[in-house]
Structure 1
Amino acid sequence: MLDVRRMQVLRAVVTSGSVTAAAANLGYTPSAVSQQVAALEKQAGIALLERVGRGVQPTAAGLLLTKHADTISRFVAEAETELADLQAGRTGRLTIRYFATAGASLVAPALATFRRERPGVQVDLKLADPEDPLPEVMRGRADLAIVVRPPHGFAEGVRLVHLLDDPYRVVLPRGHRLAGKPVVELADLGDEPWVGSELPIGPCFEVVSQACAAAGFSPSFVVQSEDHATAQGFVAAGVGISLIPRLGLQSPHPDVLIREIRRPEPIRAIHAVLREAAPAQSIVRSFVETLRQTAGDHQRDQGTAGQG
């Protein structure tokens, strides 16, 4: 097998025109350069240089190996550049799993910012199983997942990054008996017919059911829509009331009223989950930081809107 390093020494000799000049350029002694070329000739089984006057010139075999050495040098340089880009997070592939209401308000603006900063990174986005996308991360099928979870109970080997708290709001039909209240007591909804806006299992449903339990009742669902927009439609038609997280109310139905809730206020905590082994400088952590900034901007905007 031909030695790549010796091929580069041959290339230096052919390019400079002499063993002495090549040695000076490489920082070797002329004797060391001659030994490297001689060893390469032994590997190739054919002469690679021939003496001409005080210098040397390549044989046909020497030209052939010089050409390939030049190609190898270019490939190595390209590989080093691409590796540096990958290490710096300028290139690579990022696989993200997210749930619907986090998509428009968090993931979309974060992705737009991330792509402006790192246009060479390929991002694979997929709507996750709303019940639990965590296994996707744990099994290595996703680099990052946006989840709704309490800040405990996660498996080892994953890192949990809090993004924002998303409070629930009560959605009422116009003319409802509680329409005049700016803030509704959760206990006052105990006797109401309820329209479900989410899957009747999983962390989002648990947030609502636990808050209702703390208020002393279990909601009576007359409709399970599993969709925020559809739930608003049922409420607007007077079928019942619904609790919907604030992120799910970016496009409110014109025939419903939205009120804050207290005692207690149901709040779902939204987190990013990534493997603990993700390198500190990786594009995964860079995207998480972008998500955190986007979430902070969103909460500040919501606070300003609430003050207005």
Structure 2
Amino acid sequence: MWDLGRLRIWRAVVAAGSVNGAARNLRYAPASVSQQIIALEKSVGFPLYRRVGRGIEITEAGQRLADQAEELFAAAGRLDTLVADLKSGPGTRVRIGCFASAAKEWIPQVLRQTVRRFPELQFDIQSNEPVPLPDRGAVDIDISNEVPHLGVDPVPGYTRTEVLLDPFVVVVPRTHALARLDAVPLAELAEAPLIDLDVSGSPTGQVIDHAVASAGFVPRYVAGAEDHYAVLAMVGAGIGLTVQPRLAVGDLPRGLVALPLVDPTPVRRIVVHVKSTVEHVAHIEYLRHAIVRQGSKAAG
């Protein structure tokens, strides 16, 4: 059995780069920190650091132990949350997974409505795109994207509700030649410099890849970023154009315009999955309905 206290102290030493630094941050005596590290070294059977002058140098094994311990602390945190929930009854803390545009456009309104009716709730919002949640079963509600042409992939233990079909648009400067069009045929972007949101492999990326393949071209990406606002800033700077879901461009920076795409229109399907074991709980059901209502407003 791992001693989480010793592992936590070791991670503090690695982060601070010294025993004294970790002791200051943890408000422990340096001698106490050293004793815990010596005990940890004995339990693992290999050196975690070596003395270099008046300081220390973390060994490769010691660094890897600290890195891998992060997963252990995450699992312990989830277990603590589970125990707290079981003690206090279902749902005092609600865990919601969602992607960035839903977190910005829907979650504030959904939570505002919910806390008026259930003021005792606490919420934990986790990002599930571009990197999927490592443990989807840890969330009570998951708002996610699906790729329509791939069909439906049921999630065991969850009840699925379709919320919205969200078309993609192209964002261009108002001074761009395409800005004069009511809608832009996707093939018009074949030679255009594009800025990628770096979501390759995610549902959003798969939708774009499928659409441009259907239009018969390979996109010419000149830049990319994982941050939606950074991508729009690059469009504003004249670096290129970008293809984004309509939900993600509700508040464009000044000087930019979003135009519908046609022939074909890339579309993502937004769905909400609710954990089957809690879907009967009043506030979970209320949240699901609130999310669906926000989707209906967005569709309108």
Q: Sort the TM-score into its range (normalised by shorter chain).
A: 0.5 to 0.7
Distance 1:179 1:293, change over 3 A: closer
| 1:272 Cα deviation after fit | 1.2
Q: Distance in 2 between matches of 1:127 and 1:202?
A: 13
Whole-Å Cα distance in 2 between the matches of residues 279 and 164 of structure 1?
Answer: 20
Quick check: 2:193–2:241 contact (8 Å CA) kept in 1? yes
* 1:167 lines up with 2:164 in the alignment: no
SS at match of 1:178: helix
Structure 2 residue aligned with 1:16: none
Matched residue, 2:205: 205
1:146 aligns with 2:129: no
Per-residue deviation, 1:222: 0.7
Asked if structure 1 preserves the Cα contact closer than 8 Å seen for 2:162 and 2:271, the reply is: yes
- Alpha carbons of 1:279 and 1:229: their partners in 2 closer, same or farther (altered >3 Å)? closer
The alignment covers a number of residue pairs equal to 211
Contact 1:147 1:272 in 2 (8 A): yes
Alignment match, 2:273: 273
How many angstroms apart in 1 are the aligned matches of 2:228 and 2:122? 31
- Determine the C-alpha separation between the residues in 2 that align with 1:189 and 1:162: 30
State how far apart, in whole Å, the 1-side matches of 2:295 and 2:110 are.
9
What secondary structure does 2:289 align onto?
A: helix
Q: Is the 8 A contact 2:100 2:129 kept in 1?
A: no
Larger Rg: 1
Contact 1:171 / 1:235 at 8 angstroms: preserved in 2?
yes
Matched with 1:136 is 135
TM-score, length of structure 2 as denominator length = 0.64
Could you list the per-position Cα deviations for residues 60-119 of structure 1 after superposition, in whole angstroms to 9, with x for gaps in the alignment?
A: xxxxxxxxxxxxxxxxxxxxxxx9x968xxx62211122211112111101110111111
Q: Distance in 2 between matches of 1:130 and 1:167?
A: 18
Quote the offset at 1:221 in angstroms: 0.7
Q: Please give the secondary structure, in 2, of the residue aligned with 1:179.
A: helix
Corresponding residue number in structure 2 for 1:256? 256
Contact kept in structure 2, 1:131 and 1:203, CA below 8 Å: no
Other-structure match for 2:94 = 94
Report the alpha carbon displacement of residue 129 of structure 1 after superposing the two structures with TM: 4.6
Q: Is the 8 A contact 2:172 2:258 kept in 1?
A: yes
Asked whether 1:191 is paired with 2:191, we answer yes
Distance (Å, rounded) in 2 between the aligned partners of 1:148 and 1:131: 12
Contact map agreement 2:172 2:235 (CA 8 A) in 1: yes
* 2:298 counterpart SS class: helix
Taking the aligned partners of 1:192 and 1:251, their CA distance within structure 2 comes to 23
Letter of the aligned partner of 1:237 in structure 2? A
Q: Which amino acid aligns with 1:248?
A: A
CA contact (8 A) 2:168 2:244 kept: yes
Distance 1:129 1:279 in 2: 23
Sequence identity, in percent? 26
Give RMSD over aligned pairs.
2.3
Instruction: Confirm or deny: 8 A CA contact 2:194 2:221 kept in the other structure.
Output: yes
Give the Cα separation in 1 of the matches to 2:279 and 2:227: 37
CA distance in 1, matches of 2:107, 2:130: 15
Instruction: Give, as a single letter, the amino acid of the residue that structure 1 aligns with 2:203.
Output: P
Deviation, structure 1 residue 228: 2.1
C-alpha offsets along residues 172-214 of structure 1, whole Å, 9 cap, x if unaligned?
1333232211100001111111111242231111111111111
Q: Deviations over 1:262-297 (max 9, x none)?
A: 111111111112223334244323211111122222
Quick one: distance in 1 between partners of 2:129 and 2:267? 21
Give TM-score, length-normalised by structure 1: 0.63
Distance 1:233 1:121 in 2: 36
Deviation at 1:256, TM superposition (A): 2.0
Q: CA 1:102–1:279 in structure 2 vs 1: closer, same or farther (change >3 Å)?
A: closer
SS at match of 2:177: coil
Separation (CA, whole Å) in 2 of partners of 1:143 and 1:102: 16
Are the aligned partners of 2:114 and 2:283 in contact in 1 as well (CA < 8 Å)? no
- The aligned counterpart of 2:178 is 178
What is the alpha-carbon distance in structure 1 between the residues aligned to residue 136 and residue 284 of structure 2?
12
- Report the Cα distance in structure 1 between the residues aligned to 2:129 and 2:205, rounded to whole angstroms: 14
Which residue of 1 is the match for residue 112 of structure 2? 112
Tell me the secondary structure at the aligned position of residue 132 of structure 2. coil
**Paired residue type of 1:217:** F
Q: Deviations over 1:99-142 (max 9, x none)?
A: 21111211110111011111122222233353323x5333xx21
